[in-house]
A and B are shown apart, each in its own frame.
Chain A
Amino acid sequence: MPSELETAMESLIKVFHRYASKEGKTGTLNRRELRELMENELSNFLKSQKDPAAVDKIMKDLDTNGDGQVDFEEFVSLVVGLSIACEQCYQMHMKKTGMK
């Protein structure tokens, strides 16, 4: 039986490919697919996702090889970035509530 962590990784992969296969090249996210993914899957994490400039900026940051597409490897940096932000929130939260 897969563990929690394995299930989580699998769902990240599934989400990416679900959006990546919508249009254009399958296996990569174009700008529109990235926007849809952010709107539908990350609406709580990225409150500014409605701002078109924010999508452009994130796209530009992620697209390290500059081909106008976000491949899975580039998508992983988004997940890593969000995890780091999420971890810092937890740490702050734990400090505030007073750790046991």
Chain B
Amino acid sequence: MESAIQTVVKTFLSSTRGKENLDGKAFKKLIQNQLGNIMDDTNSSSAIKEMQQGLDENSDGKVSFQEYLTLIGYLANSLSQSKTGSNADAS
């Protein structure tokens, strides 16, 4: 579990390439490279743009580490729900 947390952190840090936040381009790249399997619409630039704006709580046009974690938390929640949902169906 610790290595999973490290992966979450490292993925963000390597995507920012030394900067503090993800700009639009870096965010798009992260979504497409890392989350293409669990998210729909990762090929649509406008969908990614919309998502970025949804995450951008302080409206600075960038995605901070906190805002990135909001996305991870949200995705983990919906993944977990779909998992327990399908388990309940199977049993």
A interface with B by C-beta (< 8 Å): 1-13, 15-17, 27, 37, 41-42, 44-45, 72-73, 76-77, 79-80, 82-84, 86-87, 90, 99
* Contacts between chains A and B (CB distance < 8 A), count: 98
- The answer to whether B2 and A3 have CB atoms under 8 Å apart is no
A77 to chain B, nearest CB (A): 8
Does B5 sit at the interface, judged by CB under 8 A?
A: yes
- The answer to whether A12 and B9 have CB atoms under 8 Å apart is no
User: 10 A-B residue contacts at CB 8 Å?
Assistant: A2-B38, A5-B7, A5-B11, A6-B34, A8-B4, A8-B7, A15-B4, A72-B80, A79-B8, A80-B69
User: How long is the Cα–Cα vector from A77 to B1 in the complex, in angstroms?
Assistant: 15
Residues of B within 8 A of A77 (CB): 73
- The answer to whether B1 and A15 have CB atoms under 8 Å apart is yes
- The answer to whether A84 and B66 have CB atoms under 8 Å apart is yes
Tally chain B residues at the interface, Cβ within 8 Å.
Answer: 33
- Closest residue of chain A to B79 (Cβ to Cβ) is A13
Q: Give B59-80 as 1s and 0s: 1 = Cβ < 8 Å from A's Cβ atoms.
A: 0000001100100110111011
- Closest residue of chain B to A9 (Cβ to Cβ) is B76
